Amino acid sequence: MGEALQARPIVELIRSERPAVQIAFTYYSPSAERFARSLSVDFSDYLPLDNVLDVDAALDALAPSALVFSKLDVWPVLAERAAARGIPLGLVSATLSARSSRRSVLARALLHDAYARLDAVGAISADDAERLVGVGVRPNVIQITGDTRYDEVWRTAANAADAFPELAGRSICVAGSTWPTDERVILPGWLATNLRLIVAPHEPTPTHVLSIETWAASHKVPSSRLSSGSTTADLVIVDSVGVLARLYARATVAYVGGGFHSAGLHSVLEPSAFGVPVLFGPRHTGSRDAGLLLAAGGGFVVKSAAEFRERLSADPRAAGAAAKEVVRQGLGAARRSVDLVERLMVGRA
């Protein structure tokens, strides 16, 4: 889904400016299938397996004037066969973390030629650009274009400013994409505060939702599920997907999950775009966005329930403004990425 979210602002801008251009959008993860149906594209489907027969069949059918990857995945056989046909290859919102497995000796051996075939690369940052060169990208094809997710979350915030009006009037902490390791900190830390808490589990399975309800009952905390239509309880549990971004519109402060286990911190940009200070756990070093928030005073690490409770009591105004400014400074990546794609389409990358 990360690749799809970063591609959407580019697709929408191309579609609005050049409606005659045909756009094919492919994906590999089932999580992107529903998302793909919301895009204004001429064709969308699963990307075929990365073997010569399937790749050649796809290229024969589409005959693209440019083939652009998003974020980090470059498919070796697809890149090889497309390059052999003279199809320009690009990579947008390109990123490679310092801890990425793609930097291992084996991965570099497998992927070096694919990265070297790219004709234009728009890197998120100078650090990403340097690491991409290390895995095979030619230095002369890289430019710093930024991260299109900033444009995406800014647009989402503008469109969702009036979401959930029934939640207005009370200070709220929205805890998004949480795991049980997060909840073991934030639930006890939230007790005895004056805020309402909305918890949106990363995986809102019946078992996960029930475990939060059981905790609430054991502490005599009134709770309700968002799907019930009742949002007056002190603790509201989000038992569906697709609503978290709009819930941040009502947040006084946000907590983003994933910082208490090895899977990685989830996106801190969505609440930031609403001008909301962002809290997260200590395992955040793989997130460039979290680092920017920390440096700007718009994000804060919490390591315990006590630290979480302390942060909930802080004045959110200055931190919220700082968080929003981080997103604002990252705008424009979609425009720069579209320019890169258009140069590819006319063979001037």
Averaged pLDDT, 86-95: 96
Q: Which one, of 92, 87, 31, lies nearest residue 62 by Cα?
A: 87
pLDDT of 349 strictly over 70: no
- Is the pTM higher than 0.75? The answer reads yes
Give pLDDT tens digits for 110-155.
Answer: 899 999 999 999 999 999 999 999 999 999 999 999 999 999 999 9
pLDDT of 348 strictly over 60: no
pLDDT of 331 strictly over 90: yes
The secondary structure of 246-298 as a DSSP string is HHGGG-SEEEES-TTSTT-----HHHHHTT--EEE-S--TT-HHHHHHHHHTS
The predicted pLDDT at position 1 comes to: 66
Q: Residue ranges of the domains in the chain?
A: 2-146+332-345, 162-329
The class level of CATH for 2-146+332-345 reads: alpha beta
Q: What's domain 162-329's superfamily in CATH?
A: Glycogen Phosphorylase B; (3.40.50.2000)
**Segments in the chain forming alpha helices (H):** 2-17, 33-36, 52-62, 76-84, 105-116, 126-134, 149-159, 180-190, 206-218, 244-247, 269-273, 288-296, 305-312, 317-329, 333-345
Give pLDDT tens digits for 69-80.
Answer: 999 889 999 999
The mean pLDDT of the chain is 94
The predicted pLDDT at position 346 comes to: 86
Averaged pLDDT, 291-314: 97
